[in-house]
Each structure stands twice: as structure tokens, then as C-alpha cells.
């Protein structure tokens, strides 16, 4: 398993997760040593499953990686994992860790990210698995890798994020599926509910008291339970399902919470977020 991708995208976390699964792990092995290492994995029981990180730190040698990767695949079964993230997420991570970008000696972090993304474009095109880590913290990314690679023949899983939002604040950019719940009666017009959110039991009971709410929850739950196995078979590792109302305070919050409970009951790992709470 070869792990590559953008600096700050989580390569070290993925390598550690694979090590926890029993992979013999090596960080930043020089590319010219990879064919020899591949040969060793066939001879050593300890390294039958191995994970390597290769990235922009290789410098000019990285240009030879596509040809080298094809050569490796002729020696041993080899897969390439490419990690990426949105510029905003990468900038935030570099700011939080205060670590310099590997290309940042004479340019800004933003410019370094752009240059690195362009340099890695040919390698990204070879990837067997591409993971956008923008949405994940360290623990969620590690859990995703454990689920995905726990056993080569085992069932594949998917990480589901259910989120609420308000249309007046814009659509969540990371959404895969978006459902508009503005057709439901709005608690915002009820003085006693206006200062509360859809998490409050009284607000939730009010929204659920309408037959269209009950039917919507049932139909959407059935649809998602039907769709998720198909997404898994297509290799999707995570899915973001967004529910929107006008302000993102009441209806979308209640519906997102209920759908999260339904999917969890169906056996899926689900994370619940509410983008526009509080406003």
C-alpha cells in the first residue's frame, strides 16, 4: 500500500492506522529503494502487508514515481491511496500546527499548496483510492481507514455525515445529497418556539405532529437505506447528506437528528452536525 497526497492531508494518520492493522509501515522511503523493498515483502513474513508514504519531500525524484509505480505492480500487488483536502482545510491545519509547508521556503502556504497540487496531479491520476479528508478530524480519518482496510475480503463500510443548514446562509459545499424541508410547517412563527432549536423536545414534537413530516421521514429513511449499499459497492468511503430549511434552526435540525437515528439503527456509522446552530 503506497500512501501519497497533499501535505497536511493526513498521510501520517493513515500510515499509523494501517500500522495498527498489522501493516509494516515506512515513512518517506526513498523512491529508488521501493523496488528492493517490494522484493523483500515477498520474502519476509513480517512485511507481507506493507505501507509506505511517498510525497513532495522526494523533490525531483517524484517525477519518476508514475513509471516506478507501474514497475512495482509487476513485482507485488500494490495499491495507491491519494489523500487530498480543500485549500481552506489545509490552510487551517498549517495555521494550527504552525509547521512550515515543505515547499514554503520562499513562498506563502497558499502558493505552496497550489504548486504541490499541480506537481502531484499525474500521481493522483494513478490512485486506486482518493480520500478527501477535509471533513475528518484525526480520529474520524483513522476510523475510516480501519473500516476500509481491516480485511481485504471483508465488508466495506461508509462514513455518513448528516447535517442541517439554512438556505439563507447558502448550501453546504461538501453535500452529496441535499433535501429541502421548507415544505414543513415552520416553528419559527410560533413565539414559544422561535428562541429554541429543533433539538428541543417540544419543537421536535410540534414538527413531528404533522403527517407530512412522518411520511417524509419514513420515505427518506427507506431511500437512504436502499442507496447506501450501492454507494458502498461503488467504492464511496463517505457520504454527506444535508437537510435544509430557511434558517437552519428548527425543521432541518429535527429532521437531520431523526435521520441520523434511523441510519444508526440500520447499522451505519453516522455523524450528526448542525452547520447554522447557533445563529
Q: So where are the chain's domains? A: 2-149, 159-274
Q: What is the pLDDT of residues 102-112, one digit of tens each?
A: 887 778 999 99
For 54, 60, 70, the CA distances from 65, given in Å and listed in that order, are 9, 10, 9
Tell me the fold of 2-149. Rossmann fold (3.40.50)
pLDDT category of residue 37 using cuts at 50, 70 and 90: confident
- 267, exposed or middle or buried, with CB in 10 Å at 0-12, 13-18, 19+? exposed
Q: What is the pLDDT of residues 143-160, one digit of tens each?
A: 888 878 875 443 346 889
Report DSSP state, residue 153.
T
β partners of residue 204 = none
Choose the weakest-confidence range: 78-87, 134-143, 248-257: 134-143
pLDDT category of residue 235 using cuts at 50, 70 and 90: low
pLDDT, averaged across the chain: 89
**pLDDT above 70 as % of the chain:** 95
For residue 138, pLDDT beyond 80 = yes
For residue 32, pLDDT beyond 90 = no
pLDDT category of residue 71 using cuts at 50, 70 and 90: confident
For residue 15, pLDDT beyond 90 = yes
Where helices occur in the chain by DSSP H, the ranges are 11-20, 34-43, 65-75, 87-97, 109-119, 121-124, 138-149, 201-208, 211-233, 251-265
Show the cell assigned to 84: 487530498
pLDDT value at position 236? 75
For residue 6, pLDDT beyond 60 = yes
CA atoms within 13 A on the CB side of 92: 10
Q: How many residues does the chain have?
A: 279
**Top mean-pLDDT range of 66-70, 95-99, 160-164:** 160-164
- 253, exposed or middle or buried, with CB in 10 Å at 0-12, 13-18, 19+? buried
pLDDT category of residue 60 using cuts at 50, 70 and 90: confident
* Mean pLDDT for the stretch of residues 248-259: 97
Neighbours of 218 (CB within 10 A): 11
**b (16+ CB within 10 A) / e for 227-247:** ebeebbeeeebbbbbbbbbbb
Show the cell assigned to 164: 442541517
For residue 222, pLDDT beyond 90 = yes
CA atoms within 13 A on the CB side of 102: 13
* Mean pLDDT for the stretch of residues 153-174: 82
CA 105 – CA 223 distance, rounded (Å): 51
pLDDT value at position 242? 97
Q: Say whether pTM exceeds 0.75.
A: no
- Under a CB-based contact definition with an 8 Å cutoff, are residues 243 and 250 in contact? no
Choose the weakest-confidence range: 38-52, 69-83, 127-141: 38-52
Write the secondary structure of 224-246 as one string of H (helix), E (strand) and C (coil). Answer: HHHHHHHHHHCCCCEEEEEEEEC
CA 259 – CA 212 distance, rounded (Å): 15
Amino acid at each position: 500500500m503506497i500512501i501519497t497526497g497533499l501535505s497536511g492531508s493526513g498521510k501520517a494518520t493513515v500510515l499509523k492506522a494501517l500500522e495498527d492493522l498489522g501493516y509494516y509501515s515506512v515513512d518517506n522511503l526513498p523512491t529508488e529503494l521501493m523496488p528492493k523493498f517490494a522484493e523483500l515483502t515477498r520474502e519476509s513474513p513480517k512485511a507481507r502487508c506493507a505501507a509506505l508514504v511517498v510525497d513532495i519531500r522526494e523533490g525531483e525524484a517524484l517525477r519518476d514515481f508514475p513509471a516506478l509505480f507501474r514497475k512495482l505492480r509487476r513485482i507485488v500487488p500494490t495499491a495507491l491511496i491519494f489523500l487530498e483536502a480543500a485549500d481552506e482545510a489545509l490552510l487551517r491545519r498549517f495555521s494550527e500546527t504552525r509547521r512550515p509547508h515543505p515547499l514554503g521556503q520562499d513562498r506563502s502556504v497558499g502558493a505552496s499548496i497550489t504548486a504541490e497540487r499541480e506537481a502531484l496531479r499525474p500521481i493522483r491520476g494513478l490512485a486506486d483510492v482518493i480520500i478527501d479528508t477535509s471533513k475528518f478530524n484525526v480520529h474520524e480519518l483513522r476510523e475510516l481507514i480501519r473500516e476500509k482496510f481491516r480485511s481485504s475480503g471483508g465488508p466495506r463500510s461508509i462514513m455518513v455525515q448528516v447535517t442541517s443548514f439554512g438556505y439563507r446562509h447558502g448550501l453546504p459545499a461538501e453535500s452529496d445529497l441535499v433535501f429541502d424541508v421548507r415544505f414543513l410547517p415552520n416553528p419559527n412563527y410560533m413565539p414559544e418556539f422561535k428562541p429554541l432549536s429543533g433539538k428541543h423536545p417540544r419543537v421536535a414534537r410540534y414538527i413531528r405532529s404533522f403527517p407530512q413530516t412522518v411520511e417524509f421521514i419514513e420515505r427518506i429513511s427507506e431511500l437512504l437505506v436502499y442507496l447506501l449499499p450501492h454507494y458502498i459497492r461503488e467504492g464511496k468511503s463517505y457520504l454527506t447528506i444535508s437537510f435544509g430549511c430557511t434558517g437552519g434552526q428548527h425543521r432541518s435540525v429535527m429532521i437531520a437528528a431523526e435521520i441520523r437515528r434511523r441510519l444508526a439503527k440500520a447499522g451505519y456509522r453516522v455523524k450528526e452536525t448542525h452547520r447554522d446552530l447557533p445563529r
